[in-house]
Structure 1
Amino acid sequence: MKRELGVSVYPDHSDPLADKEYLTLAQKYGFKRIFMSMLEVSKGAEAVQAKFKDLISFAKKLGYETILDVAPAVFDQLNISYNDLTFFHELGADGIRLDLGFDGSKEAMLTYNSFGLAIELNMSNDVAYLDNILTYQANRPFLYGCHNFYPQEGTALPYTFFERCSQRFKKEGIRTAAFITSQIGTIGPWDINDGLPTLEMHRHLAVEVAAKHLFATNLIDDVIIGNAYASEAELRALGHVNRYQTIFRVSFVDEANEVEKQIVLNEQHYRRGDITEQVIRSTAVRQKYKTYNNPPHDSTIEFQVGDIVVGNDHFGKYKNELQIVLHPHRDFRKNKIGQILEEELILLPFIQPWSKFKFEEK
């Protein structure tokens, strides 16, 4: 399944012109999805329709897919029936996110709505909610999953719980999404906004690191910035993220030579299938560079987790093999040539047997 980037907008808390400028900027960096909140509707149906229709129409011209976040209270306020989604179709929305669930049968029936609107479910529950809906023969291509975000510091999901929740959707082939938080944005749905991530461990992380982590799990298809407005630097950094393989940022030691830098930066790496606990081994490169000399340097220290080492001239047939250190150890036959940035060490557990990965210089 193709992976996308998304942004969030809150029309009841923002200026329409600012929203449009933001969407235009994000589209420049490859963003395709919009999470648009309708949880705080305070005016009548006509006013709501005019405001949201204008913004969604603008977004559609930029190529966005827009999912509206709705709650039962919105249906009551605007006198909308779950049996007739005409209102959302006329707004131009591509789907609606159900903030609360029903009995399974209703959600399944909604996926057969006559307008082809996607029905997005809350993923942040480790219960058989999805299984129940699928039992009622839901129209799977029109069924999405999206995690919640958590505005209050300390209240977002722990990773192990997130993993269990996400696996329920991923194993069924349902398109999935989760939120990361801009370190700049201040707009959200409520008056408390300590950031809007799905995972607590992401609350104070740079957006590109959080996105790399979500993509690396292979559990999330779409990564959405939960708060508005992210800075252009953040949007640019996210647009640069490879969504299909991990690219580690690396800082080189002063003595790293040109051959070692070529091995790191210019090759497609993959982890050997017969793995070891001590290091991640990229062995194919040693064949390509077997005739290149590599004198020892930075080889007598204890290597630490996240260090990148390359076999030196003392390593025989293993000369110029690249390794990422997983457990501290010493070996004078290896040169430390750099280290993965500390904040990206969370990505190491996702480099599995045969996983592909690359590096870029900090």
Structure 2
Amino acid sequence: MTKRQLGISVYPDHSNIEDDKAYLALAQKYGFSRIFMSMLEVTEGKENVQAKFKGLIDYGKSLGFETILDVAPSIFEELEISYDDLTFFHELGADGIRLDLGFDGNKEAMLTYNPFGLAIELNMSNDVAYLDNILTYQANIPFLYGCHNFYPQEGTGLPYDFFMQCSRRFKEKGIRTAAFVTAESGNIGPWDINDGLPTLEMHRHLPADAAAKHLFATGVIDDVIIGNAYASEAELAAMGAIDRYQTSFTIEFASEANDVERQIVLNEQHYRRGDITSRMIRSTEVRKKYKHEANPAHDQLATFQRGDVVIGNDGFGKYKNELQVVLEPHADERKNKVGQIAASDLLLLDFIHPWSKFTFTDKKGMS
């Protein structure tokens, strides 16, 4: 599996370079290592473009960032350069270019053998055999990336099932994949409409870190990029803190949750039993470790709802101190409700499969 990265986007034609540099430095502090840089709005001629973009790319490189430039055929005409010679992008210091428009397959394959080792990033947001065609022409796979589009207009983002179909085409061929989430505080994008810049429509009004967790949980996305600029420091910090390799649920504890329960929830590595049940996700190893710890009943009489986190109390015999995440509403006074998963994380429950690993993060500790 490819190591997963976090990315940000910058729009040098809609911002000033000092603000962009400050943003890169802040993002790097929180573990971001990828830049999506738009060149779709370039109108200033070759020398001006070179000066502006090279300074920013070089600064990003000094912070350890990889930069992919988003390009379109119009840019090549504007700058009087050719797809057959990528020297211009190499001299800018870019690590790759994203093709906003596709060719015949042979052309893309040939581009992956460019002498500069520039990655060629393809648009992933179509469920067609585009990638298969390129691979037929023996493309240089380590230099072929995939990245979804983002969608500035409310209601135009991809539906989830379609997104999964598109993404699997790339992931199954071992291609590095990326998709976008949106920052609530970001108001800069490539166009004059900016209702957020997510790939998935269901993410448009979700916090960026919750959307990123969801993308990683799907197993089809390697890199998650904030589509708009500038995300706030709080948003960058929240995204930087997420576990990119296993689901970590944000939990809001019940006021009566005791120290033993908090320890079970927060300090243990949980995994779902292999012989699953549809009523709840069971983390059973913890009950062995905590079998001698007393756990008096509290918050045990109400009907538990989906997303509630419960732990067996002293009345539950051998199941005392077993942790469960409720999937189907039910009542059982032998279990204490110790908290509930944050609403924005409920969609992650569907990704906890047999043997899936998961942890919890205290919402209070994050604010």
The bucket for the TM-score relative to the shorter chain is over 0.9
SS of match in other structure, 1:335: strand
Structure 1 residue 353, shift from structure 2 partner: 0.9
Query: How much has 1:272 moved relative to structure 2?
Result: 0.6
Where does residue 274 of structure 1 map in the other structure? 275
Task: Summarize deviations over 1:137-178 as a string: whole Å, max 9, x none.
Answer: 110000000000000011001111111111111111110000
- Partners of 1:11 and 1:43 in 2: CA distance: 12
1:83 — aligned with what? 84
Amino acid at match of 1:82: Y
Matches within 5 A, 1:174-323: 174-323=175-324
Deviation at 1:349, TM superposition (A): 0.4
One-letter identity of the residue aligned with 2:10: V
Distance 2:259 2:51 in 1: 60
C-alpha separation in 1, matches of 2:52 and 2:313:
64
Cα distance between partner residues in 1 of 2:238 and 2:265: 21
Alpha carbon RMSD of aligned pairs, Å?
0.8
Pairwise CA distance, 1:304: 0.1
Deviation per CA, 1:75-125, whole angstroms, max 9, x where unpaired?
Answer: 111111111100100000000000010111110110000000000000000
Q: What is the 5 A alignment of 1:1-362?
A: 1-362=2-363
CA drift of 1:328 comes to: 0.3
TM-score by length of 2: 0.97
Task: Give unpaired runs (5+ residues) of structure 1.
Answer: none
Offset of residue 207 of structure 1: 1.0
Q: Deviations over 1:286-332 (max 9, x none)?
A: 11011112222111211000000111122121111100000001112
For residues 22-62 of structure 1, give each alpha carbon's deviation from its aligned partner in whole angstroms, at most 9, with x where no partner exists.
Answer: 11111111110000000111111111111111111111111
Take 2:231 and 2:293, find their aligned partners in 1: how far apart are those partners? 46
Cα distance in 1 for partners of 2:151, 2:125 equals 11
TM-score normalized by the length of structure 1: 0.99
C-alpha separation in 2, matches of 1:360 and 1:26: 22
Listed as ranges, the gaps of 5+ residues in structure 2 are none
CA distance in 2, matches of 1:52, 1:257: 55
Report the alpha carbon displacement of residue 254 of structure 1 after superposing the two structures with TM.
1.8
Percent identity between the aligned chains? 75
Q: Which amino acid aligns with 1:187?
A: I
Give the aligned residue type for 1:171: E
Give the 4+ runs in structure 1 shifted more than 6 A: none
For residue 274 of structure 1, report the CA deviation from its aligned partner.
1.0
